[in-house]
Amino acid sequence: MKIALGVSIALLGGGCALPDAGRGAEPGVLAWSEPIADEVRRIGQHAVEEDGMVGVAIGVAIDGRLVYTQGFGHADVGRTVPVEPATVFDIASVGKQFTAAAVLRLAEQGKLRLSQRARELVPELPEHFPNATIEELLRHTSGFVGGELDESDAPANYARRRYGVDLLTDIELQGGTAVYRVGESWVYCNPGYLVLGIVVEKASGMRYDEFVRTQLLAPIGLASVTVCERVEGPLMSNAIARTESGIAEVPFIDMTAYSGQGSICSSVVDLLAWSRALNTGRVIEPASLAQMRSPSRVRGDADVREVPYGMAQRLGAIGEHRKVGHTGTFDGGSAALAYYPDAGLEIAVLSNTRGNGTPHAYSIEAAIAKLVLGHEDPDVRALARPVTPAQRRAIEGVYTEGAVRFGAAIEADELVVTRNGKEIERLVHLGGMRFRRPDRPDIFEWFEMDGETAGWWVYSVSGNYVGVSRREGATDAR
């Protein structure tokens, strides 16, 4: 499908097929209407008129047919170029699923094994990086916590093109450390996906960007999606940081610096076309896709538990509707791509602004999903259940997520959460050690047992699995 640059609103009547859509979900699950489009339009307008976003693009597809696209606000700091459906954004960590698909494609071809140690293919890895398998890197269960990269003040070499083992100078990789034993807990790990990009190169004999472009994108007709480079010209949105003093473009970082951890630029239209191709088995085989979306397992002192994250796929739900996809965040924007398999609904939201209270793209995506799915958040207080003494004993304690320490305490049947000693929120108990915030029902948290006490504290926001905290002192990293 080609969308003219002058058209900022496209409500496509009966809908038009996404490029190379293939066979979609069972039709007739959802209906699209002008009133729903009006509400989605209001959400987008509010984001740029009230919430501080300079620009945002929204795309919605139902049963493989694009039913709505619209750009809001502007693509540049000077606010001279309107955002259009064809505007291209940096999609940040949404791009991790392209890396996961590349690895799974190579596994299908017998060029690597998911059980293989990454170090076997990349012997140049620094000694402090865990001896994790390729699958453990895909699932963020290596136990490695990356160092901090200030995107507003990156080293000089981040402005030049780098490939392969040259990327092992990455600050997040070199400055990171193993906090948990391999497989013990889940912790989001950008360096792990940087390494996976190098794994793709070693196994395929091609540069990461060349493999993704020629082996994944070109066969499904998405040559316009870029890998490790930005589009030249007005179609490419700026990356914008918002502070109390105003907005400014984020300093240039060459896209090769991100490689396998998120170096894709796309419009919402092309991102939905990618989603449809992935969901219909045109990128990787159905068995590989099922593996990609299977929960990950963490091993504690006494028990093994599942966490709702696959391979570059957050596994969640909006009400009774299952949700898979990913989010992306960086100093100059945010992104969300979600698929609701039981309803045949796909939503892409791309934003060019972050900071100073600017909403994340995933909150916009969730608001749209609730509209289309007809979901209303529950009255959390009406669902409140008492916390038993045994549950209280199991829950209370200190948990860590990398270097951050969270405290869990029970007061009047509510979960009181502290971060580094300061209270940050209270949640209502729904039974079974599951909790929701009464003022933010989209924040859902629960505990998984490891022997006689809870070993992991899991939380999600807007139907997106976000992370896990491990009970402090449960085991020592090695």
The model's pLDDT over 94-115, given as tens digits with 9 standing for 90+, comes to 999 999 999 999 999 999 999 9
% of the chain surpassing 70 pLDDT: 93
Do residues 245 and 79 lie in contact, with contact meaning Cβ atoms separated by under 8 Å?
no
Q: Which of 1, 126, 7, 32 is nearest to 345 (CA)?
A: 32
Q: Which CATH number fits domain 15-86+237-249+261-373: 3.40.710.10, 1.20.140.10, 3.10.620.30, 3.40.50.450?
A: 3.40.710.10
- pLDDT band for position 79 (cuts 50, 70, 90): very high
Asked if residue 23 has pLDDT above 80, the reply is no
193: helix, coil or strand? helix
User: Around 131, how many Cα atoms within 13 Å sit in the side-chain half-sphere?
Assistant: 3
pLDDT of 29 = 63
CA angle centred on 87, ends 206 and 347, rounded to 5°: 85
The mean predicted confidence, pLDDT, of the chain is 92
pLDDT digits (tens, 9 = 90+) for 436-457: 999 999 999 999 999 999 999 9
CA distance 70 to 60: 9
* CA separation, residue 446 to residues 190, 429, 430, 454, 467 (Å): 25, 9, 10, 10, 11
Say if residue 78's pLDDT is above 70. yes
Domains in the chain: boundaries: 15-86+237-249+261-373, 380-471
The reported pLDDT for the residue numbered 474 is: 59
Collapse the DSSP code of 11 into the 3-class scheme (helix H, G, I; strand E, B; otherwise coil) and give the result: strand
Residue 20 has pLDDT above 70, yes or no: no
Residue 218 has pLDDT above 60, yes or no: yes
CA atoms in the 13 A half-sphere facing the CB of 46: 12
Q: Residues near 276 by Cβ (< 8 Å), separated by ≥ 6?
A: 18, 20, 21, 22, 24, 61, 64, 346
Residue 174 CB burial class (10 angstroms; 0-12, 13-18, ≥19): middle
C-alpha angle with apex 178: 175 to 184, nearest 5 degrees?
150
Residue in 372, 387, 364 with CA at minimum distance from that of residue 442: 364
Residue 30's pLDDT is 86
Confidence category of residue 8, pLDDT binned at 50, 70, 90: very low
The tokens describing 48, both together, are 């740029």
Is domain 380-471 annotated with CATH 2.40.128?
A: yes
Confidence (pLDDT) at 13: 31
Query: What pLDDT was estimated at residue 358?
Result: 96
DSSP letter string, 245-310: TEEEEPPP--GGGTGGGS-EEE-HHHHHHHHHHHHTTSSS-HHHHHHHTSPEEEE-SS-EEEESB-
Report pLDDT for 477.
34
- Any idea which residue has 């960590």 for tokens? 93
pLDDT, tens digit, for every residue of 124-135? 999 999 999 999
User: Per-residue pLDDT for 420 more than 90?
Assistant: no
With b for 16 or more beta-carbon neighbours within 10 A and e for fewer, the 32-53 pattern comes to beeebbeebbebbeebbeebbb
Structure tokens at 293: 């979306």
Q: Is the pLDDT of residue 16 over 50?
A: no
The residue whose two tokens read 């699932």 is 139
Beta bridge partners of 419: 406, 422
Question: Same CATH fold, 380-471 and 15-86+237-249+261-373?
Answer: no
How is residue 114 annotated by DSSP?
T
